Each structure stands twice: as C-alpha cells, then as structure tokens.
Amino acid sequence: MDRMEYKQRLGRLQQKMQAQHIDGFVVTQNVDLYYLTGSMQTGYLIVPAEGEPLFLVRRSVVRAQQEASAVVEPLGSFRTFGERVAAAFPQLARGAKGEGRPSIRLAAEFDVLPVQLYQRLQHVMPHAEWVDGSIIIRETRMIKSSRELACIREAARVIDAAFEEALERLQPGMTELEVMAGIEYFIRRQGHIGTMRMRGYNQEVITGMLGAGAAAAEPTYFDGPAGGQGLGPAVPQSVSRRPIGRDEPILMDIGCCIEGYVIDQTRTVVIGNLAEDLAAAYETSERIIRSVESMLTPGTSCEQMYADSLQMAHEAGLGDHYMGYGDDQVKFLGHGIGLEIDELPVLARGFRYPLEPGMVIAIEPKFTFPQRGVVGIENSYAVTDSGFEKLTVSREGLIRL
C-alpha cells in the first residue's frame, strides 16, 4: 500500500489524540497494528501526539521490517520498555511536563487490552495516566479509503460467485454443514483468508451463519439476530448437521475476507414454497431496507435509521419477531464493517454519529420465528458524498428453488 495512506491514517488518529489531550498511544491489537503500519507482527506501536511512530516488535522483527510503514526496532526485554519509549520520545518521559504539571496521558485500546498486559504497562511506565483510546482508533478506522473499498468489493464478488455455486448444488436432504463446507472451499480458493475477525469480547464468526428452519431460529450467545444451532455446545452458532427440508426458509448470512477486509450479506432461500406469513415477513424486510437506503446520505443519524426500521416492523405487526425473538432480540439494525465485522458505526439507539462519506455499513433487517426459521436480507453499503454505493452484488428477492 502507498505509504501516504498510512501517513493519512496516522494523521487522523493524532488529530483525535490532540483533541483529547492524549500525549501518546500504545497500540497493541493485531488489527489496529495492521491498519496503522501494514504489519501484524507482535509488538507495540508507540504513536506520539505529533511526529512519527515507533514499532517495537517482539516477533518477527525481520518480517515487520519488510512489511511495516513505521520505523521498526526489536522490543528486547519488556522491563526496559519505559526507558525505550522515553529515549525515543522525550515528551513521554517522567517529568516531561515539569513539577506540578499534569502527568503524561497515554492511551491504549481498553476494549481489547488484557488486564494482565495493562498492568505490565502501568508497571513499566508508572508516571503516566492511562486512558481509554479504543473509541478514537475505531473512529479513525470508520472512514474507508478507496483501496479499502476495493478489497471489500472484491470480497463481495467472491461471495456472490460462491452463493450462486451453492444454489446450484442445494438439494433437500443436504445438511447445513455440507452447504457451508462447499461455500468455504470455493471462497478459500479465491483468496478468502479463512476467518472473519471480530473485536467484541468472546465473539467469533467463521464464514457467517447458514441455517434452515428451526435450526436457524435457535437462540445463542452470538450478538446477532440469528445465531444458528451449530455443531454442539463447543460451537453453538451457525451450521448444524440437520438436513435441509422443503418449504422452510434457508437463511444464508455469509461473508468473505479478502486482504483482511470483509463483506457481509444475507439472502433468504427456499426449496419449494414458503408459508404466507414468512413470505410476508421477508417482504417487510425488503421494504425496511429500501426505506433505510433512502436515508443513506451524509448527515443522517445512525440511531434514527434504527428507530425508523423498528417503527416499520411494529406497523407490520412483526415487532415481536424483529431482529430476534423475546429476550434474544438484538437492539440494532446494522453495523460498520471493514477489517472487523463489528466496526463503527452501529445503527442503534445511543449511536448519534451522522453518516459520513467513507463509512461502510452492513444493514440487516431480519425476522425470527421460533421453531420455524428466520427470514431477511442484508446488504453492505459505502456512504458517498451524494448517497451510497451498494457493495453487495448478489441477487435479491426471496429465492425459490
């Protein structure tokens, strides 16, 4: 990638640091390291409020030096970490602000930083006031560049081809696992990295969620409207060994990750015919997504989009089934995507971000019917200066085989 893009990313982060009077940021998480340097090697990226960062790498130093846009040095003993930082950045050293002045403010990603590592950082830099920098780094990543959008478009192309190939194979009696295994085999050969990363604690996603009938509506821990039965308590989400039957909804919520960037889409399929009330619920999901599309312009409030969708679901008499059922309903309509599947912004109450050009959002109105299945649609969109670009390319509508 052009080093200028990394410079721009760094500049956006530093502007946010300066606005919050943060003197330095110690970046530790793999995805954030990759975003800011182009390398995911294990180490610590020290970002000053002004000037160039330093990447102290534990392993592999050689590879980091080949990949990273930042200056790379071996980490060495962690006991000397504070001394190394002070030598490279005198403004972050003990006493840098003078006697009686506020302490040095250092940020770290508290949303993903293990307590044990945080305590070690406090120990080697005890003079610093540590603050949570997770929001500002996630906000920095929220706006995508043209190169990032190109990766997501390619992921969308690959998953569309896999989706169509899966439809050609799909037969009654096939298990959910068989169908998903075929999709995974197809996209792996096309460059899918084999995982779709999530930031949320204890949240995992494999290739998405594929479920039919009652199995798709099985509630689980996954923070989404449809979890799936899974292969057992050790993997209580997505596909099971349950055979797919006729006349039941098949929810294909699948994605792909190319060069680290994900696409997220959902389509509803049925072999035969769908019950009238389920078909009507699916049509409601399409009406909701069309309505939300009309709001996808810079300046629109994220929470307003969710509120409007919720009102449409209630007006259709489907409020109890919207985005899950009962205590397992989730309280959002969509989420940002990029290097992780759960990025900012979130279309939910309390998220007052106005839409900005460069945001990429997956919007997923769905309806859950216990013991019967889940129906809905999901597309990923990029917000543009004048509206939106639909990044998802797979055909829409209730797909009948």
Q: What 3 state SS string does 20-63 have?
A: CCCCEEEECCHHHHHHHHCCCCEEEEEEECCCCCEEEEEECHHH
Residue whose C-alpha is closest to residue 269's, from 171, 188, 380: 171
Q: 213 and 252: one domain? A: yes
Task: List, in order, residues 6 or more apart from 201 with CB less than 8 Å away.
Answer: 111, 112
Task: List, in order, residues 6 or more apart from 127 with CB less than 8 Å away.
Answer: 94, 95, 103, 104
Q: 393 and 264: one domain? A: yes
Question: Could you tell me if 254 and 289 are in contact, meaning their C-beta atoms sit under 8 angstroms apart?
Answer: no
Q: 223 and 279: one domain? A: yes
Q: 355 and 226: one domain? A: yes
The last residue of one of the domains, among 141, 164, 181, is 141
Tell me how far apart the alpha carbons of residues 346 and 352 are, in angstroms, rounded to a whole number: 9
Task: List, in order, residues 6 or more apart from 178 with CB less than 8 Å away.
Answer: none
Please state whether the peptide bond connecting residue 294 to the residue before it is cis, i.e. omega within 30 degrees of 0: no
Q: 250 and 373: one domain? A: yes
- pLDDT by residue for the chain (401 residues), tens only, comes to 688 999 999 999 999 999 999 999 999 999 999 999 999 999 999 999 999 999 999 999 999 999 999 999 999 999 999 999 999 999 999 878 776 666 899 999 999 999 999 999 999 999 999 999 999 999 999 999 999 999 999 999 999 999 999 999 999 999 999 999 999 999 999 999 999 999 999 999 888 999 999 999 999 999 899 989 999 999 999 999 999 999 999 999 999 999 999 999 999 999 999 999 999 999 999 999 999 999 999 999 999 999 999 999 999 999 999 999 999 999 999 999 999 999 999 999 999 999 999 999 999 999 999 999 999 999 999 999 999 999 999 999 999 99
Tell me how far apart the alpha carbons of residues 77 and 71 are, in angstroms, rounded to a whole number: 18
Question: Could you tell me if 111 and 85 are in contact, meaning their C-beta atoms sit under 8 angstroms apart?
Answer: no
**Strands, sheet with 42-48, edge to edge from the N-terminal-most edge strand:** 71-74, 54-59, 42-48, 24-27, 105-108, 129-132
Tell me how far apart the alpha carbons of residues 315 and 55 are, in angstroms, rounded to a whole number: 54
Residue whose C-alpha is closest to residue 152's, from 256, 13, 239: 256
The last residue of one of the domains, among 109, 141, 173, is 141
Question: Could you tell me if 245 and 172 are in contact, meaning their C-beta atoms sit under 8 angstroms apart?
Answer: yes
The last residue of one of the domains, among 141, 172, 197, is 141
φ/ψ of residue 168, rounded to 5 = -65, -30
Question: Could you tell me if 161 and 369 are in contact, meaning their C-beta atoms sit under 8 angstroms apart?
Answer: no
Q: 161 and 298: one domain? A: yes
What was the pLDDT predicted at 323? 98
Q: 80 and 172: one domain? A: no
Q: 221 and 323: one domain? A: yes
Tell me how far apart the alpha carbons of residues 219 and 157 are, in angstroms, rounded to a whole number: 30
What was the pLDDT predicted at 181? 97
Question: Could you tell me if 293 and 312 are in contact, meaning their C-beta atoms sit under 8 angstroms apart?
Answer: no
Check: pTM over 0.85? Answer yes or no.
yes
Residues facing 381 on adjacent strands:
361, 390
Using CA atoms, how far residue 375 sits from 41, 66, 87, 110, 170, in Å, is 41, 47, 58, 36, 18
The tokens describing 280, both together, are 């009507």
- For 121-131, b/e burial (b = at least 16 CB within 10 A) is beeebeebebb
Q: What is the number of domains present in the chain? A: 2
Q: 178 and 60: one domain? A: no
CATH number of the domain at 36, please: 3.40.350.10
Task: List, in order, residues 6 or more apart from 317 with CB less than 8 Å away.
Answer: none
Residue whose C-alpha is closest to residue 159's, from 397, 398, 380: 380
CATH number of the domain at 190, please: 3.90.230.10
Per-residue pLDDT of 232-251, as tens digits, reads 999 999 999 999 999 999 99
Neighbouring CB atoms inside 10 A of 76's CB total 11
Residues facing 346 on adjacent strands:
335
What was the pLDDT predicted at 89? 97
Q: At what angle do helices 134-142 and 3-19 cross, to 10 degrees?
A: 140
Q: 289 and 147: one domain? A: yes
- What is the extent of the structural domain holding 61? 3-141
Q: 234 and 95: one domain? A: no
Tell me how far apart the alpha carbons of residues 351 and 347 are, in angstroms, rounded to a whole number: 7
